[in-house]
Structure 1
Amino acid sequence: MTHSGTNLSRRGILRAFAATALVAAPTYSNAFGLLRGAGDVRRIRMYSGRTGERLDTIYWIEGEYIGEALREINLFMRDWRNGQAIQIDTRTVDIIAATHNLLDGGREPYMLLSGYRSPETNAMLRRTSSGVARNSLHMVGQAADLRLNGRSVNQIARAAASCHGGGVGRYSGSNFVHMDCGAVRTWGS
């Protein structure tokens, strides 16, 4: 599901990366001598409280997605209940990373609560929880539910919304933010 087209929402994401490039570039240079002076580098850091796994990968270098890194992201963001994985939409990965850069330069990893959800998992969650969409973007690899230590739901949601890349949901009672690459919209409190 890689998308190379440019649109209005993409511009917001690119602005977010540009706004943090000066902050993020030294971090990348110090951590990865191989990438020193590489220019446009995008990184994503997450951990899963469900599986105990951690992800810290550079998935984009100077205009090119890195296939191996994207496969790693797909596996990490799988449905942890049944192990099923699909290709995560790179627009969602970009929104997640751009938001992360705006908040703290991506230093503190996100906690991933939910990435891909199989239709079976989504149906189960609809039966046992409120607020789960019948046609959730989680089922097509276009959404993630995240939290970030030291940042409030409102701080994360404001940063994500400033990317103008998709939907941003505030779930303050459960302490997480939903981000997706669907229509630009916000909800929750």
Structure 2
Amino acid sequence: MYKFIVDTHSNLCIKCKACEAICKNHNNVPPGIYRIRVITINEGKPGQLNIPMPCMHCSDPACLKVCPMDAIYKRPDGIVLVNKDKCIGCGYCSYACPFGAPQFEGSGAFGTKGKMDKCTFCVQPYEQKDENGNIIENEPIPRCAMVCPGGALLAGEASEIVRVFRERIRGYTAKELVEKVFMV
């Protein structure tokens, strides 16, 4: 079984927002919802950072732990999804997530926000089966990572992403990595 992860590189993001556009278009995401967004720190100043922020599909997701309806679940391959039929829109997940991944259409009181929406790693909303009824395991390909011109987003099978990450940092000291990433 594959394990999937997301890795972001702020020093490679050029803030083109192609990731935001392809995600909204491919997934028919409603207005006001961003399954991925580019956050800018120190905009227009030396050391500006552009950080692509999708759901990180955490190994130990805080959103899953606080959901009173068990609407959020983690697949065996590591992808964290929400069952919208179970979601009551309480918003606990949005308070628990350190990345701001859970999004709601509304901004009202408890239970009036609508159903939670978040990055799905571009998996199908249903499992595809072959003629014998066996689940077809396709490797999901997040569109945001596919269209990123700077390579700031890497998403895919964990061992491959770790290999690419290690290749990118090879030869740097810890101090050089901090300077490169945070431009200090």
> TM-score surpassing 0.5?
no
Q: Normalised by the shorter chain, which TM-score bucket? A: under 0.3
- The normalised TM-score by structure 2 is 0.26
Question: Which of these two proteins has the greater Rg computed from alpha carbons?
Answer: 2
Pick 1 or 2: higher relative contact order, CA cutoff 8 A, min separation 6: 2
